[in-house]
Amino acid sequence: MQRFRPYFHYLRPLRGQLILALFCLCIYSAASGFGLPTMLQIVFKPIFEAEARNLTVMEIAGLAMIIPAVFFLRGISGYFSSYLFQFIGTRVLEGIRLDYFRKLQVLPLAELQKHAAGDFTSRVINDAQQVQTVITALANDGIKHPLTLVAAVGFVIYAAFHSNVGIAVLCLAIVPLCVFPIRFVARKVLRRAHQAQAQIGSLSSQVTENLAAVREVRAFGLEERSTQRFHATSRELFAAQLKIVKYAQALNPIIEVISAGGIALTLIFAYESGVTLTDLTAVLLALYMCYDPVKKLGYLNTDLKRGAAALDRLEPVLHAPVAIADPATPVPITRLRGDIAFDHVTFAYNGGEPALRDASITIPAGTVCALVGPSGAGKTTFANLVPRFYEVGAGRVTVDGHDVRALRLADLRRNIAIVSQDPVLFNDTIYNNLLLGRPDATREEVVAAAVDAHADEFIRSFSDGYDSTVGERGALLSGGQKQRLALARAFLRNAPILILDEATSALDSQSEQMIQEALKKLVVGKTVLIIAHRFSTIRDATMILVFDRGEIVASGAHAELYAGNELYKSLYDQQNVGATIGNGL
């Protein structure tokens, strides 16, 4: 229960519904715990005992109508309280999911990369759903059953004063015995619930991963292997879920046997002390009304444990500190010039070996700077520190002399356009995908950007033109088309800093030529960081940084580096030979 307290604030805007639901619940509980046994006494006593002979048929009918009246009251109040609690629970779920998703948007990339995307999906869908189930159950059953129990105990005490105190003591003495199995089962369920939720996350990430890499799976013939892996995880999930069912379902018979024992003892005691059948029936019904809530509370307790397990999976994200956030008093900027400087910057992913070590370099505005070096040397890491995707461990990164940590993230990133190796397009129209570059752009500006990126022609060749949809991650487009759309987006953004991660995969020569022409136009007047893979790009750069094992080992223009740096010379020669072979020369 304590575990869920921090989430009660989601109930604050739902106060009106909550009060109404509680009101209905009180009526339901009173009608169940006290109303039903009282009804039996009021109706049965005059009919089956001595006075019956003095009653007319109409009077008996009037008495009999009390039964549907009580059930009606109980039914309608029960219906409205359940409906309202479901309403409240669903709203709470919406709130938790929204907060979770919002947090995903600001969580440091390093944090996001710790888990598979599918696992995050599973947490925001399944675990949040589990928490909703518990909060609804907690609000509904957590109040309804204790109230019913209090009303039923009230009736037993009331009956005791009218007939036999011993019966009341007997009835009530057995109820606490039920607590032991409830606690035992809850402990067992918590452990299994943790396992089950984690396995649901794993299943979800396997599906996401499989679909994202569908071509690789088919090309490498991994279908059977993936299916077997999925099957194995499903089996583990099956086992964990079955264990939960095994323990949770045992609760019902255990509590029934205990209550049956209570009923048997009550019967013996009633026989000994000469209690009438009507009184006994009412007490037995009240007794049932005591045990039933205890049983339901037992189930609620197992639900609470499942909910606690789900919270354990949601909270690492919900409570994760937002390490990369806006400063308290950001330096106001509009458009940057584009001077970039790294001042003794060291950075390591998740506390591991530094991926960038003591990097110091100044890149003046308007420089086209190629980043070269062997794979894993730190080029991407270097580029990612400029838009502050990661936080430097030591040193500082500045733009126009401002530490990037002193700027509002939105201001900084508005001044940077990024074109990645495999540009991501959303499953939307081409027009809307381009508009992401600058959401306030006019249609003319969008079209002009597409023309600059040599994309307009192929866009217009589609039957729906700019309103054609591109499929998930742009699946309906070719690699060259996706790249040109990404360039069009960068044209539209017209940011002073441009980060280009050059595609390694070769495109057909026509696409390649169009992209090169577009790029030539795009880089004019901008500070450009190109993670370069082609010798032509490297040669055209005004400045080249050579990376090796996380360090910038040399910088300068092509001719001086080629003459003076062994690593650069060998990298350049390799590229050159590769390109020459690639071109069939």
Ligand X SMILES: Nc1ncnc2c1ncn2[C@@H]1O[C@H](COP(=O)(O)OP(=O)(O)OP(=O)(O)O)[C@@H](O)[C@H]1O
Give residues in contact with ligand X (CB under 6 A): 113, 349, 355, 373, 375-381, 547
3-state percent helix, strand, coil for the chain, nearest multiple of 5: 70, 10, 20
DSSP for 418-486 reads: EE-SS----SSBHHHHHHTT-TT--HHHHHHHHHHTT-HHHHHHSTTGGG-B--GGGTTS-HHHHHHHH
Rounded to whole angstroms, the Cα distance separating 500 from 491 reads: 13
Q: Least distance in Å: CB of 109 to ligand X? A: 7
Residues 6+ apart with CB under 8 A from 347: 354, 355, 356, 381, 385, 390, 391, 392, 393
Q: Least distance in Å: CB of 380 to ligand X? A: 3
Q: Least distance in Å: CB of 450 to ligand X? A: 29
Nearer to ligand X, 338 or 378 (CB): 378
Q: How many helices (H) and strands (E) does the chain have?
A: 22, 10
Looking only at the bridges linking them, the beta strands covering 551-556 and 543-548 are antiparallel
- DSSP 3-state of 278: helix
Nearer to ligand X, 112 or 242 (CB): 112
Nearer to ligand X, 228 or 504 (CB): 504
Nearer to ligand X, 189 or 377 (CB): 377
Nearer to ligand X, 427 or 570 (CB): 570
Nearer to ligand X, 353 or 444 (CB): 353
Q: Least distance in Å: CB of 567 to ligand X? A: 13
Q: Least distance in Å: CB of 370 to ligand X? A: 12
Do residues 47 and 63 touch, judged by C-beta distance below 8 A?
Answer: yes
What Rg do the C-alpha atoms of the chain give, in angstroms? 35
**Residue of 255, 247, 69 whose CA lies nearest to 145:** 255
Two tokens, residue 252: 């019902």
Q: Least distance in Å: CB of 549 to ligand X? A: 8
**Residue of 292, 296, 295, 300 whose CA lies nearest to 33:** 292
Nearer to ligand X, 329 or 350 (CB): 350
Q: Least distance in Å: CB of 377 to ligand X? A: 4
Burial classification of residue 65, based on how many CB atoms lie within 10 Å of its CB (0-12 exposed, 13-18 middle, 19 or more buried): exposed
Do residues 142 and 126 touch, judged by C-beta distance below 8 A?
Answer: no
Nearer to ligand X, 43 or 529 (CB): 529
Q: Least distance in Å: CB of 499 to ligand X? A: 12
